[in-house]
Amino acid sequence: MKFIDAHVGERPEGLRWGVETICGQLTELGAKIAPATYYEHRSRIPSARAVRDAALRVEVARVHADNYGVYGARKVWLALNRERAAGAPPIARCTVERLMSDLGLTGVVRGKVKRTTIANPAAARPADLVERQFAPLAPDRLWVADFTYVSTWAGWVYVAFVIDAYARRIIGWRSATTMTAQLVLDALEHAVWTRGREGRDVTGVVAHHDHGSQYTSVAYSERLAADGIRPSMGVVGSSYDNALAETINGLYKTELIKARGPWRSVDQVEVATAEWVDWFNHRRLYQYCGDMPPVQMEAAHYAQQPTLTTAGVTDS
C-alpha cells in the first residue's frame, strides 16, 4: 500500500501512473494485489490502536530527543507516564518498546572509562574513609571527585566533577585545557558555592577522590581544611575505590561527548557541559534515585527531614 501511494501520480514525462497499472506490474513481479484491495484499504477507517500509536510515536520521539537520545525503552516509558495528567490511563512499557522499535530508536551503551589522573608517590595520602560505601543516608555526607578528558579540534579539554553521593547530584564542575591542581580546585570551589547558596553547611563532609597529583596538592588540601572538609583516598590503581565518580564520568562521555561530537573548542565543550549538567541534575531519570532526577531526590529528603541540614553527623 505504501509503495502504491509513493508511486501513483505524475511522471516526469507528463504521463500518469495509475493504480491499475502499478497493481498489474506488481502482480507480474510476484506481489499480487488487486486495485480493489488498494481502494478498500484507502477507505478503511483507522483502528483506535492505530490512531493512538500515531500520536504516541510523536511523543516517544520527542521524549527520546529531549533527553539527548540516550534513553532506552524503560526510561522513555517512565518519562511519558510522569508527564501524564492525573487520572489518565498509563502507557504500557511494551507499547513504548514496540513504537521505539518501529522508529528505530535505542538507548546508548556505555563504553570503558579511561583513567586520567597520575599519582604523586611523594605526596601525603589521607586514609580511606569510604571503603567503597557510596550510599550515605543524607546529602553532604560524602562528595566524590574525579576528572575526565575531551578531544577537540583545538586540543585536549579536561573536565572535573564533584558529585554528592546521596543522590548522585553534580554540585561542582570545571573545564580547562590543562590538568592542573587549579582545575580540581575550581570544581571544589563550585561545589562549596552551590551548597552555600542553598544554605547548607559543608563542615564534616568527606571528599573522596583518587591519588592523582591534582588532589594531593597543597592548594587542594588547604582548601578542604579551610571549609572543614575531610579528605579521603582509596587504594592506588583501584577503580572500584572511586567507582561512583568514574560512573558519572562514563555517563558524561557516553551521553554527551561521544554522542554530540566532534568538538571544536573548549568554549563549545563548556557550554554543552553546562547544559548537560543542568539536564542531569534536574530532568534525567536516575534509577538509583528511584527513577527521579537527583535534585528531586534531595528535595524529597529535606521535605521528610527538614531539620537535617548539616553534614556534621557521620553514618553509623
Mean pLDDT of 291-306: 92
Q: With 90 as the cut, is the pLDDT of residue 267 above it? A: yes
Mean pLDDT of 160-178: 96
Q: What pLDDT is recorded for position 20?
A: 86
Q: With 90 as the cut, is the pLDDT of residue 165 above it? A: yes
The string of pLDDT tens digits covering residues 193-230 is 999 999 999 999 999 988 778 888 899 999 999 999 99
Average pLDDT value for the chain: 87
Mean pLDDT of 83-94: 88
Other Cβ atoms closer than 10 A to 11: 9
83, three cell numbers: 508527564
Taking the CA of residue 237 as centre, how many other CA atoms within 13 Å lie in the half-sphere pointing to its CB? 1
Rounded to whole angstroms, how far apart are CA atoms 170 and 143?
A: 9
Q: With 80 as the cut, is the pLDDT of residue 115 above it? A: no
Q: What pLDDT is recorded for position 116?
A: 53
Q: With 70 as the cut, is the pLDDT of residue 252 above it? A: yes
75, three cell numbers: 526510561
The residue among 177, 204, 207 whose CA lies nearest residue 189 is 207
Q: pLDDT band at residue 160, thresholds of 50, 70 and 90?
A: very high
**H-state helical runs in the chain:** 2-7, 19-28, 35-43, 48-66, 73-83, 93-103, 181-197, 218-226, 243-252, 258-260, 266-282, 294-304
Q: With 70 as the cut, is the pLDDT of residue 24 above it? A: yes
Tell me which amino acid residue 278 is.
Answer: D
For residues 251 and 235, which has the higher predicted lDDT (pLDDT)?
251
> Are residues 214 and 117 in contact, defined by beta-carbon separation less than 8 angstroms?
yes
> Are residues 121 and 213 in contact, defined by beta-carbon separation less than 8 angstroms?
no
Q: With 80 as the cut, is the pLDDT of residue 69 above it? A: yes
Rounded to whole angstroms, how far apart are CA atoms 148 and 179?
A: 9
Other Cβ atoms closer than 10 A to 86: 4
CA 304 vs. chain centroid, Å, equals: 27
Peptide bond connecting 262 to the previous residue in cis, omega within 30 degrees of 0? yes
Q: What pLDDT is recorded for position 265?
A: 93
CA 27 vs. chain centroid, Å, equals: 50
Q: With 90 as the cut, is the pLDDT of residue 313 above it? A: no
